[in-house]
Structure 1
């Protein structure tokens, strides 16, 4: 499975840069089938932190700074607290949280339900999303609706999601380390994934600028969510 990590990392970076979300949880759920939820969370967190930093740098001129800062005030402490909790949670609980998060996101994408928070809710929403992100992954699937509700779209949406994701992943990386979830093995996987995700970011930006419109980006997002649900269902029966 280790030899497939570069492929999955490039796919995650490509997908997230195209659609704004989906790549991280797709990567997380795929790894959880092989190494279990706790190891998958710890392996993907550093890669997604650095991958989102890279995406943020590439698209820094597009970031909505007031929204990103407001979200970060809640997301950093929320993800830190959730990361400490994840270190002690049974793997079965973590796996069901991942499944629930993904299924809820698919429901929203299919317009089965809608979440329309106000922009003023960024900081408190960051606390809750941060805690859920650290225990279930898939932060972008909840950050996306929040930022869309604030009126963001296109590159501005993708860039601000990246900024929000940096705040989320920073808190949980520290918490996973303190909780003993970071090992030499997870660090190796994270290093391989980081380089691959950055490569996917570059490829995704090139495709987005030259080949893709927003309508097709939304279709890619929906397809990725449906794949995530399939991976979740398979993973629920493991271990």
Structure 2
């Protein structure tokens, strides 16, 4: 894959996630899936997205809602590892179909057509496991994480920081599984390192923009990202 295109996609992914709170990672995976298999796209993007989320977590560490983040991460780590092992053995067509379905559900939720019920506090650990498995197989965990965080009343910096903290656990679990399954190679690691730098640059640019945007503007950006994700998912299926 052309390094210039890879860096551009990484920058856009970091910018979108920082401004809208979610969507950048899914956009990146779907765009990469047009040039490689979904499994390869997941393996290439995961280490870079981990770096991006670590950065957002570090910047907003004082804003993290630990009552939600820690029990969720406790379930997300093993759940994402199991999902990552499934990716290694899953046919490409099945992975591509899952990308389409999860992108469509995210868009339906944003439009208010489907309103998932968030789990109670006592169910955060099993919910984290299920969502971690979703993250490893499709990269679309933001759909469910968003429902949990928004139902808890989080918004703005607290929303972005808590989402980043939970995403770190999911990325660690699935990267370990992808590596065990042979999807992470020396070439993948080098490309992912370049992608990580681009995501960090996008994070910084997005952070400056976010300070000047209203909540409705960020919501409109998120909706636009989800429309783009559905289009990319359908293009990959075709």
Q: TM-score scaled by structure 1?
A: 0.96
> Could you say which residue in structure 1 is the equivalent of 2:72?
71
SS at structure 1 position matched to 2:34: helix
Offset of 1:31 from its aligned partner? 0.2
Aligned equivalents of 2:143 and 2:164: distance in 1?
12
Q: Deviations over 1:206-234 (max 9, x none)?
A: 1111x211110000000000000000000
> Could you say which residue in structure 2 is the equivalent of 1:53?
54
Unaligned stretches of 5+ residues in structure 2: none
> Could you say which residue in structure 1 is the equivalent of 2:198?
196
> Could you say which residue in structure 1 is the equivalent of 2:40?
39
Offset of 1:121 from its aligned partner? 2.6
Aligned equivalents of 1:201 and 1:121: distance in 2?
31
Give the one of 123, 126, 145 matched to 1:124. Answer: 126
SS at structure 2 position matched to 1:138: coil
Q: How does 1:149-164 map to 2 (within 5 A)?
A: 149-164=151-166
Aligned equivalents of 1:66 and 1:184: distance in 2?
38
Aligned equivalents of 1:9 and 1:225: distance in 2?
17
Matched, 1:27 2:28: yes
Q: Deviations over 1:74-119 (max 9, x none)?
A: 1000000110111111111111111111100000000001012133
Aligned equivalents of 1:23 and 1:49: distance in 2?
13
Count residues in correspondence: 236
The answer to whether the 8 Å contact 1:105/1:141 transfers is yes
* Cα RMSD after superposing both structures: 1.0
Unaligned stretches of 5+ residues in structure 1: none
Give the one of 149, 167, 170 matched to 1:168. Answer: 170
The answer to whether the 8 Å contact 1:139/1:168 transfers is no
Matched, 1:86 2:105: no
Q: Which moved more, 1:164-173 or 1:111-120?
A: 111-120
Q: Deviations over 1:133-170 (max 9, x none)?
A: 11111222221112111221111111100001001111
Q: Deviations over 1:7-63 (max 9, x none)?
A: 111110111001110000000000011011011000000001111001110111111
> Could you say which residue in structure 1 is the equivalent of 2:136?
134
Aligned equivalents of 2:99 and 2:121: distance in 1?
26
> Could you say which residue in structure 2 is the equivalent of 1:110?
111
> Could you say which residue in structure 2 is the equivalent of 1:187?
189
